[in-house]
Amino acid sequence: MLSALLLAVWPAVLTAPAQAPLGTQPSAQPAAQAEQPAATARGAALSWSEFHALVLDRHALSPVGRDALKHLVRARLLERLARESKLVIEERELDEKVRELEAEVKRSGEAGSLDEFLALKRVSKTKFREFLRLGLVQERLARRALGIAEPRAIRGEQQDMWLDQILQQRGLQTPPPPWSDGVVARCGDLEIRLDAFLPHLIEALAREDIEEDCHRALLAKLALARMPDLGEPALERALDEELARRRDAALTDPKTKGLSFEQLLASQGLTIETLRRDPAVRVAALAQVWVERNFGEAGLKRAYEDERARYDARFGEAVETRALFLRAAKFTNELNRRSFGDAERELERLGRQITSREDFERLAKLRSEDSATRERGGLLGFITAGDENAPEVLRAALFQGAPAAGEHLVGPLRIPSGVLLAWAGPRRPAPGWDIMRQHVHNELRKRFIEETLPQSDVITFLDMGATSGRK
């Protein structure tokens, strides 16, 4: 567990799950890499300016972006406070603290060494020492202000409260984008400019987020290239329609009832304008256009008939299913105290107590060891014969042979992690063409996207060993 001295300066990085190292990612781009794009795939390239605009649109106001800005402001303020108070942290003090933290990391078991830990957390040794110096600055100044002398302990919360008070006293301001004057935050006469915030934000992003951003941006370029005759007015109409679909879906979702579409976007750090520019929205709109252009009503019906068995299995008749699950293994040991046979016998015993769905729900809430469904009385939802999210043995028991009359018990059934007893509830008939048509349409759009650019074909600056691209 790393010291609170470090977590106070940049907790998001130092407490994040370990990831593949991204390198040190300095804020300046070496001249030798100046010609390299941020990402490439199948002949398309994402320039650094496009990548930077995308990062700001998608992440600047997200929780990660807000945290990154907060941490940058706090670090710059601590630098200012150290100068104002003439506080100097000697190198020998840093060396001593590094040795303490090296031992702390080894004791924690998080890594074999401090260098290994920093590589996993994507923090360079230079930046680490800077974090450490600022952490010591914060501790010393907080002690002075709060009158807590050595050797009394000072908690991280006390240090944070002191620094937050300074930020408030000096009038922290975080104006919204587009930051036309280049200033993303002010605290008194201290300014955080966009050219400092952007590389800091990129460093704070998970590798998976960067790779997804690059994939979607290149996918949008390649999808548009497959329709070279699509004019700007047609593209704008497609974007309008895609945004309307998303608005309708959000406003009819019971989980977000009472919120406007704009409020939902704001909660994610987005606006209508940034969503319209988002390559994921553009890709969805282009996929919609592609299917409508290349299939039409007759083509959709042909696509359905060509793969009717597959579509019917995935989206056809369905059974409302509940499950009571017990963990088990082939052999028992200290971690697995129940064998498959033990679990089967126990479920057979419980099954003799079940004569109705209410009986099943009650026992599932009491005995099921699947935390995701236990509180819902074991409810899995409607399962089709081709539902890839349901165990194959369960689907076979529900659909093979002639359908059993009425609601009934199914199992016990073995799955790799244990044994389940299921309740087959009401059957939902296969949908009519108006609903199946949408499933076919969705599948064809998905195939268009996968054919245009698999994510595995994308090469980003992370793979090329480049930096964040900020000159």
Dihedral of the alpha carbons of 93, 94, 100, 101, in degrees to the nearest 10: 160
Q: Domains of the chain: which residue ranges?
A: 4-207, 208-308+439-461, 317-428
The listed CATH number (3.10.310.10, 3.40.309.10, 3.10.50.40, 3.60.20.10) that belongs to domain 317-428: 3.10.50.40
* Range of lowest pLDDT (133-137, 262-266, 441-445): 262-266
Q: Is 400 helix (H, G, I), strand (E, B) or coil?
A: coil
pLDDT band at residue 347 using 50, 70 and 90 as cut-offs = very high
The per-residue pLDDT for 465 is 64
Q: Which of 238, 381, 243 is nearest to 318 (CA)?
A: 381
Mean pLDDT of the chain: 87
- Give the C-alpha separation, 358 to 378, whole Å: 11
Mean pLDDT of 421-431: 93
Query: For 29-75, what is each residue's pLDDT tens digit?
Result: 444 445 789 999 999 999 999 999 999 999 999 999 999 999 999 99
For the ranges 4-13, 270-279, 381-390, which has the lowest average pLDDT?
4-13
CA distance 13 to 21: 12
pTM exceeds 0.95 = no
* Closest CA relative to residue 172, chosen from 150, 144, 191: 191
Rounded to whole angstroms, what are the CA distances from 232 to 227, 229, 236, 281?
A: 12, 10, 6, 16
**More confident position, 16 or 120:** 120
**203, amino acid identity:** E
The CA angle 226-230-236, to the nearest 5 degrees, is 120
CA separation for the pair 62, 60 (Å, rounded) = 6
pLDDT tens by residue, 138-195:
999 999 999 999 889 999 899 999 999 999 999 999 998 889 999 999 999 999 999 9
pLDDT-based confidence at 466, cuts 50/70/90? low
pLDDT digits 0-9 by tens, 90-103: 999 888 988 888 88
Residue range 311-326: mean pLDDT, rounded:
94
- Any bridge partners for residue 321, and if so which? 381, 424
What does the pLDDT read at residue 402? 63
